[in-house]
């Protein structure tokens, strides 16, 4: 049975409570055009500013280290299909804390409550990152994926444009998940798939749209998606965990964490209790 493509709304002036009712609770992706309007980054950060201010900053991509200015030059010059360093990410709180004042508030008000802001939820152990991501036309995620541990993903563009592909399906077999973790598709190029090798993919119609500077994309937990840069890009991404995706988060820890089984069981029990406490606190006026 073919799954129809979903529509991705573009909303401005959407207050956090309205967002939670219309999109978060319904598990609907959405582009918020002005959610990060308070970030100073939008008036400050450009490729030239980065080259001038942080050009010698080191970024590790795979086993190789690059200076930021040289990396930006490589990404900007590459044509589609040319190999470039990828993925180019930098953990902001840990490796680039100077950037935090430019992306405040973080997380965005729409992404609250976010249990990953508490050390009790140990996001550093279980997939959570707040990172700067650089891309160019020569590199992209060639495969579709869902975010690890069923975390919600938030992506805000600082400069450049990205094309996102979102796949609406609750039939994960259509996306050919790769065992044992099943968070990544076996389809080697989701943008130009081999339908003879992956015939079930014909049942899924992707929604394609662009994300530009100042815009924020919310991707609900468990949503298959991929993206590619259309030019030199910088985005800031962070994860979100709260009551809605807490059960799936705990199941993921049990099913495919690299920890020994005894520790996975202990963590699952810990999060089950902690999640109940957090749910009570989040109902209080100060819990948001």
Classify residue 268 by its DSSP letter.
Answer: H
Cβ-based neighbour number of residue 137 at 10 Å: 21
pLDDT band at 2 (very low <50, low <70, confident <90, very high): low
The rounded percent of the chain whose pLDDT value lies above 90 is 75
pLDDT band at 148 (very low <50, low <70, confident <90, very high): confident
- Residue 5 class from Cβ within 10 Å (0-12 exposed, 13-18 middle, 19+ buried)? middle
Q: What kind and span of H or E run contains 282?
A: helix 261-282
pLDDT band at 137 (very low <50, low <70, confident <90, very high): confident
Which CATH superfamily hosts domain 9-242?
Answer: Cupin (2.60.120.650)
Using the Cα atoms of residue 65, residue 74, residue 41 and residue 164 in order, give the sign of their dihedral.
negative
pLDDT band at 1 (very low <50, low <70, confident <90, very high): low
The domain ranges of the chain are 9-242
Model pLDDT, residue 286: 55
Residue 288 has pLDDT above 60, yes or no: no
Residue 81 has pLDDT above 90, yes or no: no
Model pLDDT, residue 52: 97
Model pLDDT, residue 278: 95
Classify residue 81 by its DSSP letter.
Answer: T
Find the mean pLDDT for residues 240-247.
95
């Amino acid at each position: 049975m073919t799954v129809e493509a979903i529509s991705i709304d573009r909303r401005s002036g959407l207050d956090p409570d309205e967002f939670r009712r219309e999109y978060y609770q319904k598990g609907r992706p959405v582009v918020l055009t002005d959610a990060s309007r308070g970030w100073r980054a939008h008036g400050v950060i450009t490729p030239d500013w980065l080259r001038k201010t942080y050009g010698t900053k080191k970024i590790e991509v795979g086993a190789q280290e690059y200076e930021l200015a040289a990396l930006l030059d490589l990404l900007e010059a590459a044509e589609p299909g040319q190999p470039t360093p990828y993925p180019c990410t930098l953990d902001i709180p840990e490796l680039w804390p100077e950037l935090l004042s430019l992306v405040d508030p973080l997380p965005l008000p729409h992404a609250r409550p976010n249990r990953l802001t508490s050390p009790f939820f140990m996001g550093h152990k279980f997939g959570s990152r707040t990172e700067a991501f650089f891309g160019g036309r020569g590199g992209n995620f060639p495969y579709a994926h869902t975010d690890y541990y069923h975390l919600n993903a938030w992506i805000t563009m600082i400069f450049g444009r990205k094309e996102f592909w979102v796949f609406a399906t609750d039939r994960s077999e259509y996306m050919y998940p790769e065992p044992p973790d099943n968070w990544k598709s076996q389809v080697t190029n989701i943008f130009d798939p081999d339908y003879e090798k992956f015939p079930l993919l014909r049942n899924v119609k992707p929604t394609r749209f662009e994300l530009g500077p100042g815009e924020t994309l919310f991707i609900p937990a468990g949503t298959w998606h991929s993206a590619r840069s259309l030019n030199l890009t910088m985005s800031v991404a962070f994860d979100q965990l709260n009551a809605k995706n807490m059960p799936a988060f705990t199941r993921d820890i049990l099913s495919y964490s690299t920890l020994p089984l005894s520790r996975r069981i202990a963590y699952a029990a810990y999060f089950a209790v902690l999640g109940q406490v957090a749910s009570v606190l989040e109902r209080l006026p100060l819990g948001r």
